[in-house]
Structure 1
Amino acid sequence: MSTALIHGTVQVNGTTLAYTQAGPHKVRRRPVVFSHPLFFNRTQWYELMARYAQRGHPVYAYDHRGQGESVRAARKDLSVSTLTEDAAAFIEHFGLQGCHFVGASLGGFVGLWLAALRPDLVSTITAIGSSAEEEYTEYDTLVDHLTAHGTAGVVDPILNIMFSAWTLENNAALTTHWRAVVSSLDERIGDAAHGVITRPRIVEKLQDCPVSVLAIGGDDDHAYPGDISGKNIAKAVGHNGRHVTIEHAGHSAALEQPEVVARHLDEQFALIDGVLADRWDTAAQR
């Protein structure tokens, strides 16, 4: 089973997105699409991509327009609505309809919007450290700084948003890597951040959602505490929604506790695929 990462760009919805893919050429399992948070990029998913590629899933991760290696974009073109249209076009371009969509923070916003507005494209949504509500924290000053200076002078506050106190104290290798990534961001990150904090709520549009939605929150998420990143999303979705909280994790649970997140993803995927990951492992070894 191939786990080699293949990198490329694709033109969809009037923009050019950078992406990475892995997995079998002949589809054996349902595709998985990963969508990253603000400040980070698609490389955060490589560990989980390898896991699911080895199990027979075609896996894809992409950078949002205006972030990572995707093309720059004007502020007016960086709304969550537009990013959702990008994700829909990406899924359609590669023929990934019916995929499992996994998003963190901003990527989770996109996933929830897909569940509400384009349920025909997805089978499950996992929103990690995300929200279906409007922004409740005053981030205007931070966005103004980012627009004028990039992340210079605010790297520590950003890391305190993105990681739990436990991770900052106990996982220097992880936080050192992402400190370098955050430190490299220029002024365009301010436009992307503006799109995040000005998003409208999606709560009402999630009611009676036909898609299975899993909301994962960290027990020390400073951006979206447990009710916002978990219970409120599941409640909005109704009988197709559920939520879990992960210990020793903040806003970036997929990076902070990847094995725990992966176990929850296994269960989420099994709701549709009809086979748990351990059963797939056994079958794959025969």
Structure 2
Amino acid sequence: MIGHYTLTGPEDAPVLVLGNALGTTTGLWRDFGLPFRLLRFDHRGHGRSAPVPGPCAIEDLARDVLDLLDHLELRQVHYCGVSLGGMVGMWLAAHTDRISRLALMCTTAWYPDKSVWDERIEVLGSRGMEPLADSIVARWFTPAFPPDVVARFRAELLEVDVPSYIACCRAIRDMDLRPALAKIDVPAVVIAAAQDSATPPEFARHLADELPDSELYVVGDAAHLAVVEAPKTISVILDDHFGNS
């Protein structure tokens, strides 16, 4: 499927695909700047992308990106993904030759504890997003982060199609990308946030240990959406990584 996307920046610059976290939209990157041609997209049922009925796996979400790359006639791209976007990036880098360099931010290859997803899915199915919104957003940001920005992300979360969100939750719960990590033969950078309770730094360390060619960074004053809380720090890391290509 080809959902909502934007492609901005110098036409002669390398294309950098930006993959969003679960429950966020292309607005995740609104204050983010790098000297590349930036391809932002919304996952199915998020933002301005239409819902897709039925279950999905990480592979299906990754194939959405492949459809988009084919549509735009992009043979090979850089890829940076946050959380769910990083999971999609791992699949793409392991199973295709479309990714030249990879950045994985606040993400994991698997969740050993499935119960958190089962509980979330149960509440979503019976009561919708509203009862979960505050607890989800609380994990995205540190307590001192400006409340107006937090409120904007909460509002975007409440607009996500609930069945699509549930399908993505199940995809994350059921994934195990650990066997794929050794197949990723492109240069990778792994970024964790010290105050991220959703994907703690030990998850990032596992990724960095298993990836054949990777560097690990831990950003201090940030939580799960570190790209929003520490954009300057992360921009420097990514510019160094992708700028070396």
* TM-score, normalised with respect to structure 2: 0.92
Distance 1:149 1:192, change over 3 A: farther
- 2:217 corresponds to 1:233: no
Match of 1:193 in 2: 169
Q: 1:185-264 counterparts in 2 under 5 A?
A: 185-188=160-163, 189-199=165-175, 201-228=176-203, 230-238=204-212, 240-264=213-237
CA apart distance, 1:208 = 4.9
For residues 112 and 105 of structure 2, what CA distance do their matches in structure 1 show? 16
- Matched to 1:220, the amino acid is Q
Match of 2:78 in 1: 100
Provide, for residues 195-220 of structure 1, a one-character-per-residue CA deviation record: whole Å limited to 9, x for no partner.
22222x21222215221111111101
Q: 1:22-171 counterparts in 2 under 5 A?
A: 22-25=8-11, 27=12, 29-48=13-32, 51-52=33-34, 55=35, 57-76=36-55, 78-118=56-96, 120-139=97-116, 140-163=118-141, 167-171=142-146
CA-based RMSD? 1.7
Distance 1:88 1:185, change over 3 A: closer
- The count of residues paired between Structure 1 and Structure 2 equals 243
For residues 203 and 81 of structure 1, what CA distance do their matches in structure 2 show? 14
Distance 1:47 1:96, change over 3 A: farther
For residues 210 and 172 of structure 1, what CA distance do their matches in structure 2 show? 41
For residues 223 and 113 of structure 2, what CA distance do their matches in structure 1 show? 17
Preserved CA contact (<8 Å) 2:3 2:42: yes
- Matched to 2:95, the amino acid is L
Secondary structure of 2:3 counterpart = strand
Provide, for residues 247-284 of structure 1, a one-character-per-residue CA deviation record: whole Å limited to 9, x for no partner.
11111111111111101101111231xxxxxxxxxxxx
Distance 1:36 1:160, change over 3 A: same
For residues 191 and 54 of structure 2, what CA distance do their matches in structure 1 show? 29
CA apart distance, 1:106 = 0.3
For residues 116 and 108 of structure 1, what CA distance do their matches in structure 2 show? 12
Q: 1:171-182 counterparts in 2 under 5 A?
A: 171-182=146-157
Secondary structure of 1:16 counterpart = coil
CA apart distance, 1:133 = 2.2
For residues 137 and 31 of structure 2, what CA distance do their matches in structure 1 show? 21
CA apart distance, 1:16 = 3.5
Runs of 4+ in 1 over 6 A off after TM superposition: none
For residues 75 and 113 of structure 2, what CA distance do their matches in structure 1 show? 33
Higher RCO by CA contacts (8 Å cutoff, separation 6 or greater): 2
- Matched to 2:173, the amino acid is I
Distance 1:16 1:114, change over 3 A: closer
Percent of pairs with identical residues: 23
Q: Which moved more, 1:63-72 or 1:90-99?
A: 90-99
Secondary structure of 2:144 counterpart = helix
For residues 160 and 89 of structure 2, what CA distance do their matches in structure 1 show? 24
- 2:243 corresponds to 1:270: yes
Distance 1:93 1:184, change over 3 A: closer
Q: Which has the larger radius of gyration?
A: 1
For residues 246 and 146 of structure 1, what CA distance do their matches in structure 2 show? 31
Secondary structure of 1:67 counterpart = coil
For residues 190 and 234 of structure 1, what CA distance do their matches in structure 2 show? 29
Distance 1:65 1:135, change over 3 A: farther
Distance 1:185 1:150, change over 3 A: farther
Secondary structure of 1:102 counterpart = strand
* TM-score, normalised with respect to structure 1: 0.80
